[in-house]
Amino acid sequence: MSFRRFAPVLLVSLAFLIPPGLASANAGQNAGASAAAAGSANGALHSQRVCAAVPVGYAACDARVVTDANLTPRATTTWGNRGYSPDQLRTAYGLSAGNTLTVAIVDAYASPNAAADLAAYRAQFGLGTAKLTQVSQSGGKISSIRGNVGWGQEEMLDLEMISAICPDCPILYVGARSASFADLATAVDTAARLGAKVISNSYGGGEFSTEAGIASHYNHPGVAITVSSGDSGYGVQIPAAFNTVTAVGGTSLTLSTDGTRAAETVWGGAGSGCSAYIGKPSWQHDTACSNRTVADVAAVADPYTGVAVYDSYGSRLGANWYVFGGTSVAAPIIGAVYALSGNTAGIPASFAYAAPTGSLFDVSSGSNGSCTFAYLCTGVSGYDGPTGNGTPNGTGAF
């Protein structure tokens, strides 16, 4: 079957340099406008969303790609130390080999190049052969799912972040036939039915009054379901607001010259806040929000301290290496940490609220916007909205 592309082809530039530890000079910006440049102080770096805005009842992916000033995605023919590598991510978060639970990725559509692109990424970083299975939202052949360039880049980001953190974990990709919440929710149910113990979701959309009807599809006791908190700064989206998922916020991560974690602050694009419709779970105790508060935990998401991604579906001239950010990076990282821990019993979203001392890095500076109660939009000591209880320091909190 031939795959059609339902998004504009992304043009590339063949030369750019992004030091992996480069910190964003404007991490406090609101990242909401998908077409607007989000540049650093020297004007050298910008980023844009890869998925278009959507109406109520649909989701957009939460990935951002680094671009030039004209919003042309920057790509190179080799990795060239541009964007964090698997080793750098694992070192930063104190992660090593562990359990190897099956991790499912749920996205809309399907890249026809997914298996080959994942193999190229893993070969670059010595991760071995992937254990990848791809199915449609009903569990049928992935060839029945059409392609979409933006969502295809999201798919590769997700597959590669799972590979980066847990190279030996089997991966199940479940492609929804559209970006509607009805189709995505069906795909989540299929992932659980097929035995995934972790399900990562890097997408979201605005809340609406009947969203509780969708929430039941994200309730699978004994399965860790991670969801990106959003890339538009302060504000809440679903499915991150559902109280049976782990809502994953985002940070700006800077590394030392030896590769260890040097600093981590709130990324200005990370979603956070108080749900309008979803009640507060019993394990969440912050005082300013009587409903569900987002987020629970966090990981790197700032495009300017972003990760290396290999994707050939939307590229030209063989330049397939990009630098990506967004909470779409953070959600699969946290999903893979659950897989390494081997612990998904009960409601995994609650684990971080009773985490052993030292098992999470507290992120206590930075902001994603303005709000009445500071902790909902600002990094503070202890729990805060943009980063939840913190970022992983090993697997002890998971």
Measured between alpha carbons, how far is 309 from 304 in angstroms, rounded to an integer?
14
Residue 301: what pLDDT?
Answer: 99
Least confident interval from 129-143, 311-325, 341-355: 311-325
State the burial class of residue 105 (Cβ atoms within 10 Å of its Cβ: 0-12, 13-18, 19+). Answer: buried
The b-or-e profile of 293-310 (16+ CB within 10 A means b, else e) is: bbbbbbbbbbbbbbbbbb
Nearest Cα neighbor of 64 from 277, 259, 330, 319 is 330
- Average pLDDT for 228-244: 98
Please determine, for residue 6, whether its predicted confidence score (pLDDT) is greater than 80. Answer: no
Q: What is the pLDDT of residues 119-164, one digit of tens each?
A: 999 999 999 999 999 999 999 999 999 999 999 999 999 999 999 9
- Average pLDDT for 309-318: 90
Segment (H or E) for 392: strand 391-392
CATH architecture of 46-392: 3-Layer(aba) Sandwich (3.40)
- Average pLDDT for 166-194: 99
Segment (H or E) for 212: helix 212-215
* Residue-range domain boundaries for the chain: 46-392
**In the structure, what pLDDT confidence band is assigned to residue 210 with cuts at 50, 70 and 90?**
very high
In angstroms, the Cα distances linking 204 to 55, 164, 256, 327 are 11, 23, 33, 10
Residue 317: what pLDDT?
Answer: 80
Measured between alpha carbons, how far is 162 from 88 in angstroms, rounded to an integer?
14
- Average pLDDT for 11-25: 35
**In the structure, what pLDDT confidence band is assigned to residue 365 with cuts at 50, 70 and 90?**
very high
**In the structure, what pLDDT confidence band is assigned to residue 44 with cuts at 50, 70 and 90?**
low
- Average pLDDT for 242-260: 96
> At 369, is the secondary structure helix, strand, or coil?
coil
- Average pLDDT for 94-98: 95
**In the structure, what pLDDT confidence band is assigned to residue 22 with cuts at 50, 70 and 90?**
very low
